[in-house]
Amino acid sequence: MPKSKSRKSSKNPSGGGGAKYGANIGQTSGKTNKTIGVAAAVLAIAAGAFWWNSNQASNESQAAVEQLAAEGSAILAQVRAIPAQGNEHLGIGAVKRYVEPFPTSGDHASSGVKAGFYTNDLPKVNLVHNLEHGNIVIYYETPGDAALEALREWGSLYRGAWDGVVVTASPGLGDVVVMTAWTKLLRLEQFDAGDAAAFLDAYRGRGPENQVR
């Protein structure tokens, strides 16, 4: 009786074939890591370029304000110096009636508002807190497109907690723009960018609580 042919054993999937697939997985992971690394580097470069461009634009804008301030410095002789009316913090919900329609000091809320350009009328008890922190508070209604463009730019440019600019609407002013700092006030019957910039440069960041300029 002829001997039966022995069957060839099947390949173990964990043997040579398994090693093959394992190698592929390793190669794919390496390529993926390289791709991720390149993408991260590109993003880092893009972020750095964006920061540099933003910082450059900010520096140029500030230089432009300083140039305007130099041109309008004569207006500082017309700034009203108003005696301080106190600086205590009011209790939550407390009401305060100020002597001046655009207060430059006095008892006030324990918190201010974020620097920026606002289209609504902000509470003066909060704005006085901003003044105490060295912010400039500017009141406007309808001073014209050029004035509004400048005010928006300054509200965006100066956002610091101790040297920011708050621009707030104030019904009834018409063309007039009122600029305030701690115990200082300048009323511009017609907005002039040089005059306004001179006030900003003279008093921004120089409040009584923490002078940073």
87 close to 105: Cβ distance less than 8 angstroms? yes
Comparing 22 with 89, the larger pLDDT belongs to 89
Q: Which residues pair with 15 in a beta bridge?
A: none
- Tens of pLDDT, residue by residue over 198-212, are 999 999 999 999 999
CATH architecture of 74-203: 3-Layer(aba) Sandwich (3.40)
Closest CA to 81 of 194, 186, 154, 207: 186
Q: What is the pLDDT of residue 59?
A: 85
The CA dihedral of 63, 66, 67, 69, to the nearest 10 degrees, is 160
As a whole-number percent, the residues of the chain with pLDDT over 90 amount to: 69
- Tens of pLDDT, residue by residue over 93-138, are 888 999 999 999 999 999 999 999 999 999 999 999 999 999 999 9
Q: Long-range contacts for 51-59 (Cβ within 8 Å, ≥24 apart)?
A: 58/157
End-to-end CA distance of the chain: 110
Predicted confidence (pLDDT) at residue 55 exceeds the cutoff of 90: no
142 close to 50: Cβ distance less than 8 angstroms? no
Q: Which residues of 152-185 are buried (b: 16+ CB within 10 A; e: fewer)?
A: ebbbebbeeebbbbbbbebeebeebbbbbbbbbb
Report domain extents, the chain. 16-71, 74-203
This prediction has a pTM of: 0.75
Name the phi and psi angles at 187, rounded to 5: -105, 120
